[in-house]
Amino acid sequence: MNAPLRNAEAAALAAYADEAWDQRIVPALTDYIAVPAKSPMFDADWAEHGLIDRVVRDAAAWVEGRKVAGLKLEVLRMAGRTPLIFFEIPATAAGSRDTVLLYGHLDKQPEFNGWRKDLGPWTSKYENGLLYGRGGADDGYAVYAAITAIEALDAQGIARPRCVGVIEASEESGSPDLPAYLEALRPRLGNVSLVVCLDSGAGNYDQLWLTSSLRGMVSGVLKVEILTEGVHSGDASGLVPSSFRILRQVLDRLEDSRTGHLLPEGFHCEIPAARTAQARATAAILGDEVWKRFPWACGADGGLALPTTTDPVQALLNRTWRPTLSVTGVEGFPEMASAGNVLRPFTAFKLSLRLPPLVDGHQASLKLKTLLEDNAPYNAKVTFHPDGRAGALGATGWNAPELSPWLESALNAASHTHFGAPLGYIGQGGTIPLMNMLAQGFPQAQMMVCGVLGPKSNAHGPNEFLHVPYGKKLTAAVAQVIAACPG
């Protein structure tokens, strides 16, 4: 392991990150937020619209404009796939043979509704250290922070290994384009000993947080058709079964609607003892903030709506190691103002099934399709179309490998240096398909999965924000960990 940084060196990294965020990163993200570069799942005509291409070009130009010594950058474009930025920067450490891979993405989730009146998804606002707007925190900042971390080391003459960057543009669609690019890049990636993924979250803004696991996901459209066209509800109801009622019966095969428990055992896995222990330690840090951080609706008596559990340990495990079903969209329902007395011909739900880290996403997709479609009530036409490409349906989650002593020490040192608090460990309920791909391709690599998505940052929802002070400290911490790489 390399020698620990001196206090003056660590302070210089922090100062460099502060200046870079204020002078270069926030302005770049302000421009980025203004571009509705929605992921292909949400914009089928993304290639024609050119918005993904625009944010990729802007980020590539920014990186090349920094004039990092030896940097080579290429925008890769495969037919029918979103573009990908690949950059490589030679080592400054004598005799270094290893590579650090830095990851981020530039595609975005759609607008959603409910934004504060003075905010909007494509209109950035910088207020009290928070940069509002869609995609800044998830995950537009990553490429800028990654380059800044490398620049900060080079500016201080601090030796580091070779660094490469993979910045994709299909992550919010489940990264369907990423495997082909990784396969093409494999000879150029080198001996990856450390992966730094900047697309994750934080339990609070008071310390560095390492993501210990990620859930997988199966998403798709469940549709129940009972009629070829709508008919008068007074004429048909009681004889023609409601498509919504049939859909509800079908979902009862999957979920206990009273508790939210997923019924098929194949969608569950045993939670490793080490992850349960980490959840207890994290619960001791965060307490009730584990569940109070969400924007609960008040009841008539002024009390808060309640979560599935108020036990912080179980709350952490529920959102990271247990499968959960969500309905994220509907079709077949008219707007309320146009809702006449008509029995609707079909009901369709967009389902999002979060899977425990150790459950195979593709196999879960096939099992879910069979479960939902077989033996349809009333012989209705029931279909489930999972998202993804043939042979790669769903996304498998990820359980972090055991930390090497050098990385555990470096992460703790970086957290104490830049946050004044020890490293925290937290599982995340979201999905980053890249991590499972890299774990298979580079089984010996260590993983630093982190990010700026802390309490109330609300990625994917209204009023998404990036906590800039945390971003500054995270950038300096990443630089310090890269400097500690032994290879």
Is residue 227 domain-shared with residue 209, that is, in the same domain?
A: no
Cα–Cα distance measured from residue 469 to residue 256, given in angstroms and rounded to the nearest whole number: 42
In a domain? residue 276: no
In a domain? residue 295: no
CATH number at residue 61: 3.40.630.10
CATH number at residue 363: 3.30.70.360
Alpha helix stretches (DSSP H) within 156-301: 178-189, 233-236, 243-252, 273-286, 289-292
CB 72 within 8 A of CB 146: no
3-state secondary structure of 111: coil
Number of domains in the chain: 2
Q: What pLDDT was estimated at residue 301?
A: 59
- The total number of residues written for the chain in this structure: 487
Joined together, the tokens standing for residue 74 give 């290429």
Is residue 25 domain-shared with residue 150, that is, in the same domain?
A: yes
Joined together, the tokens standing for residue 190 give 């080198």
Q: Within 13 A of 416's CA, how many CA atoms are on the CB side? A: 10
Domain that holds residue 28: 7-214+397-483
Nearest to 353 by CA among 323, 387, 398, 383: 323
In a domain? residue 11: yes
Q: Which residues contact 262 (CB under 8 A, 6 or more apart)?
A: 254, 255, 268, 322, 323, 324, 325, 353
Bridge partners, residue 417, by sequence: none
Is residue 383 domain-shared with residue 341, that is, in the same domain?
A: yes
Helices (H) and strands (E) in the chain, counts: 15, 20
Cα–Cα distance measured from residue 11 to residue 30, given in angstroms and rounded to the nearest whole number: 27
In a domain? residue 222: yes
Is residue 331 domain-shared with residue 409, that is, in the same domain?
A: no
CA angle, 73 as apex, 460 and 63 as ends, to 5°?
Answer: 60
Q: What pLDDT was estimated at residue 7?
A: 87
Alpha helix stretches (DSSP H) within 432-467: 433-441
CA distances for 483 relative to 347, 407, 414, angstroms: 55, 11, 11
Beta strands in 356-470 (DSSP E): 381-386, 388-389, 392-393, 398-399, 424-428, 446-449, 465-467
Is residue 150 domain-shared with residue 237, that is, in the same domain?
A: no
Is residue 110 domain-shared with residue 181, that is, in the same domain?
A: yes
Given 335, 370, 393, the domain boundary residue is 393
Is residue 352 domain-shared with residue 470, that is, in the same domain?
A: no
Given 347, 372, 393, the domain boundary residue is 393
Is residue 206 domain-shared with residue 60, that is, in the same domain?
A: yes
CB 135 within 8 A of CB 468: no
Joined together, the tokens standing for residue 35 give 């571009």
Is residue 263 domain-shared with residue 203, that is, in the same domain?
A: no
In a domain? residue 424: yes
Joined together, the tokens standing for residue 440 give 């298979």
Is residue 75 domain-shared with residue 118, that is, in the same domain?
A: yes
Given 329, 363, 393, the domain boundary residue is 393
Is residue 26 domain-shared with residue 153, that is, in the same domain?
A: yes
In a domain? residue 294: no
Is residue 132 domain-shared with residue 256, that is, in the same domain?
A: no
pLDDT tens across the length of the chain (487 residues): 576 788 899 999 999 999 999 999 999 999 999 999 999 999 999 999 999 999 999 999 999 999 999 999 999 999 999 999 999 999 999 999 999 999 999 999 999 999 999 999 999 999 999 999 999 999 999 999 999 999 999 999 999 999 999 999 999 998 999 999 999 999 999 999 999 999 999 999 999 999 999 999 999 999 999 999 999 999 999 999 999 999 999 999 999 999 999 999 999 999 999 999 999 999 999 999 999 999 888 755 566 778 999 999 999 999 999 999 999 999 999 999 999 999 999 999 999 999 999 999 999 999 999 999 999 999 999 999 999 876 778 999 999 999 999 999 999 999 999 999 999 999 999 999 889 888 888 899 999 999 999 999 999 999 999 999 999 999 999 999 999 999 7
